């Protein structure tokens, strides 16, 4: 019950913040008034904040209306160690992780409130997410301890692939509204809460004591927390798009 209460209160706070912010930026009209007489059916979007995520991606989305009040949105993104602002360049071979890459995809169903018409106005959305992060873990293992001296007989370098898989389901509220300079361009603010589940897949490491250098990232993309692991998911952001 405490989780349900927390989700409900947080959702109401998110919705109030989004409504106030959207009204301050540009109040959405009750009807869409494009330069032509045809209502837009498609919205192509870019998510700039995805570049600032610890698992940053170049992220695009495509929304398609299905009736007056509903729409479907599909989103995909890709990132690498070179495009991630939180990680060192991939040419640094002394970091714990190398050849890092991430793939992220989302599918979303939206329902716009009755006084609005898709794809403009306030909405409730159900979102499913899948994300996969891949990298090579580099380290050194001490082999053959000398019982008298406590020293290792020799050290061996190793590099092994590992992957992190993330699934999430989120309930979101948001507001999509036209920008004042051209109502074909829109901004989409949203936030929501849900459940996230992750697993980390790694092969068996060499036997012996393991030594690691720096992870090469301000935030470890493969933390040592137990796996599999389920926890609360918080989703928020903004997209900019073009309707047609």
| Residue-wise pLDDT tens digits, 31-88 | 444 444 567 999 999 999 999 998 999 999 999 999 899 999 999 999 998 888 887 7
Q: What average pLDDT score do residues 191-216 get?
A: 80
Task: Select from 242, 233, 238 the least CA-distant residue to 3.
Answer: 233
Q: How many domains does the chain have?
A: 1
> Is 9 or 138 the better-scoring residue by pLDDT?
138
- In order, the DSSP letters of 116-156 are SBTTBEEEEEEEEEEEEEEEEEEEEEEEEE-TTT--EEEEE
Percentage above 90 pLDDT, the chain: 49
How many CB atoms lie under 10 A from the CB of residue 79?
22
Residue 7: per-residue pLDDT: 42
The pLDDT, as a whole number, for residue 151 is: 82
Q: What is the spatial distance between Cα 69 and Cα 22, in angstroms, rounded to a whole number?
A: 19
CATH number of the domain within which 99 lies? 2.40.160
* Interatomic CA distance for residues 196 and 190, integer angstroms: 18
Per DSSP (E only), the strands in the chain are 42-46, 58-65, 70-80, 97-112, 121-145, 152-179, 182-201, 209-211, 229-243
**Residue 94, pLDDT above cutoff 70:** no
pLDDT at res. 217? 65
Contact between 118 and 70 (Cβ < 8 Å): yes
20 lies in which domain range?
Answer: 2-243
């Amino acid at each position: 019950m405490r989780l349900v209460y927390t989700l409900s209160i947080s959702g109401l706070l998110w919705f109030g913040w989004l409504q106030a912010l959207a009204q301050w930026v540009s109040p959405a009209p009750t009807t869409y008034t494009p330069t032509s007489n045809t209502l837009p059916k498609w919205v192509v979007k870019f998510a700039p904040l995805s570049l600032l995520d610890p698992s940053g991606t170049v992220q695009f989305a495509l929304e398609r209306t299905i009736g007056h009040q509903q729409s479907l949105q599909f989103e995909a993104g890709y990132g690498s160690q070179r495009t991630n602002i939180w990680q060192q360049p991939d040419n640094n071979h002394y970091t714990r992780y190398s050849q890092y890459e991430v793939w992220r995809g989302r599918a979303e169903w939206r329902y716009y409130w009755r006084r609005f018409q898709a794809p403009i106005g306030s909405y409730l959305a159900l979102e499913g997410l899948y994300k996969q992060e891949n990298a090579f873990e580099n380290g050194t293992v001490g082999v053959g301890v000398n019982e008298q001296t406590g020293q290792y007989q020799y050290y061996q370098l190793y590099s092994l692939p590992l992957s992190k898989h993330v699934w999430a389901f989120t309930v979101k509220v948001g507001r999509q509204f036209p920008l004042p300079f051209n109502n074909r361009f829109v901004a989409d603010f949203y936030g929501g809460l849900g459940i996230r589940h992750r697993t980390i897949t790694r092969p068996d490491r060499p036997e012996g004591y393991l030594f690691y250098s720096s992870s090469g990232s301000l935030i470890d993309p493969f933390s040592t927390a137990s796996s599999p692991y389920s926890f609360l998911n918080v989703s928020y952001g903004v997209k900019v798009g073009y309707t047609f």
